[in-house]
Structure formats: structure tokens, C-alpha cells
Amino acid sequence: MEIEDVRDDIEKVLLTKEQIQRKIKDTARRVDEDYGGKDLVLVGVLKGAVNVMTALMNYMHTTCPIGFMSLSSYGEGFESSGQVKVRSDLNVDVEGKDVLIVEDIVDSGNTLHWLMGYLSNEKKARSVNVFPLLSKPSRRQWDIYVKYPGYEIEDEFVIGFGLDYKECYRNLDAIAVLKPSVYSQERM
Ligand code: IMP
Ligand code: MG
């Protein structure tokens, strides 16, 4: 789905398809370089990370296992509940491996803070780093080391490229801000 398909629902385009692809391609090159000779595993957080994961692995010139986890901290609304729950546990072995977590966005940082600890302490990963495509620095509650930064954005609710509003717009190839009228009832 492209911007033209959602023109009536959005206030503005934040990142074009080209900007997103360029950032992921650059990151793939860095990952290829940094993890050469290491035991890399890519771990994605469902469902938001699916688009970033697919693009990243397709741009990489090296191969490695991938795995997914389903976590919940957000519910259906706008604010993180602060608690992370495992809906579905990791489906790949990362013990002694070098993990790169692929995420759509780091907002409060709750999810990544929890997940980095979980993969290190419970799953015994050798190293854990993160590539979140987006970051909202003004919302951060945890000091997280982001080895592969994506784009920094303002504190606005965004959709597209994996990010949803009520499970929709994940399949938009760009990232945009919704019109307030689309969600005005919930935000009051
Ligand atoms: P955090 O735990 O507060 O960092 O939030 C992480 C999760 O909240 C992300 O993986 C997204 O699923 C969701 N999220 C945060 N900001 C947005 C947004 O602007 N649009 C859609 N989902 C968001
Ligand atoms: Mg997510």
C-alpha cells in the first residue's frame, strides 16, 4: 500500500519509502561488516518489526538465523502500559550467539529494555544489540544503547511500515502521521 492509498487518512508523510529503504540498506551494510565471523541471530518483535526484518535480511549479503517473539506492552491504545508480557516466546536458539534485535520503534524504551535483559539473562545470548527503525527520544524512560540508530522523530503517533493503528496500516510502504479525526474519540 502506498501514500496515495491513505491520502484521506493522513496529516503528513514523515518518511518516504525511499528514505526508509536507504536507512535499512545502510544498516544492512554495517551489520554485514560488524558481524562477519560472528554467530549472528536476528530477533524481531511481532508484529511491528516484520517489515523492517524482511527488508534488512534481504539487503544483507551474509546469512543468519532469524527468530520472532510476540510481546505486549501497548494494548490497543496509544500509551505503553509499562509492563511487558510474553505472548509467544522466542522460536530460535540464541544461547552463546550475537543477537541483533530488529524493531519498528523505540518509544518509552520499556519493550527494548526488558527484551535486552531477557535475551542476555534468560536466553544466555553472548551479546545483544538493537536496530529500531524509529526512535522518539523525548519519550524515553530507559537509557538504552542503540548501536544502529534509525530515524529520530517527534512525539507523534505514526503508522506504516509495520506500525499500526488498531491493526491497520502496517502494510503501508512509508511512514505517516494520522489525521486527528481518524482517532479523535480515543484520544480525548
Ligand atoms: P515502548 O515499549 O514504549 O518503547 O513501545 C514500543 C512499542 O509501542 C513499539 O514496538 C510499537 O509497537 C508501539 N508504538 C510506539 N509508538 C508508536 C507509534 O507512534 N505508532 C504505532 N505504534 C507505536
Ligand atoms: Mg513493536
Buried residues in 167-185 as b, exposed as e (16+ CB within 10 A): eebbebbbbbbbeeebbee
What pLDDT is recorded for position 188?
44
What pLDDT is recorded for position 186?
60
What pLDDT is recorded for position 141?
92
* 42 in contact with ligand 1, CB cutoff 6 A: no
Distance CA 68, CA 54 (A): 12
Give pTM, 2 decimals.
Answer: 0.93
> Does residue 94 contact residue 125 with C-beta atoms inside 8 Å?
yes
pLDDT tens sequence across 33-66? 999 989 999 999 999 999 999 999 999 999 999 9
CATH code for position 72: 3.40.50.2020
* 50 in contact with ligand 1, CB cutoff 6 A: no
The one-letter amino acid code at 148 reads: Y
Q: How many CB atoms lie within 10 A of CB 91?
A: 11
Is 96 inside any structural domain?
A: yes
Query: Domain range holding 69?
Result: 18-155
Count up the domains in the chain and report the number. 1
Is 173 noted as a catalytic residue in this protein? no
Is 5 inside any structural domain?
A: no
pLDDT tens sequence across 171-185? 999 999 999 888 776
Is 12 inside any structural domain?
A: no
pLDDT tens sequence across 127-176? 999 999 999 999 999 999 999 999 999 999 999 999 999 999 999 999 99
- Cα(146) to ligand 1 centroid in Å equals 16
pLDDT tens sequence across 61-118? 999 999 999 998 755 555 555 678 899 999 999 999 999 999 999 999 999 999 999 9
Is 185 inside any structural domain?
A: no
What pLDDT is recorded for position 180?
86
What's CA 46's distance to the chain center, in Å? Answer: 9
What's CA 168's distance to the chain center, in Å? Answer: 16
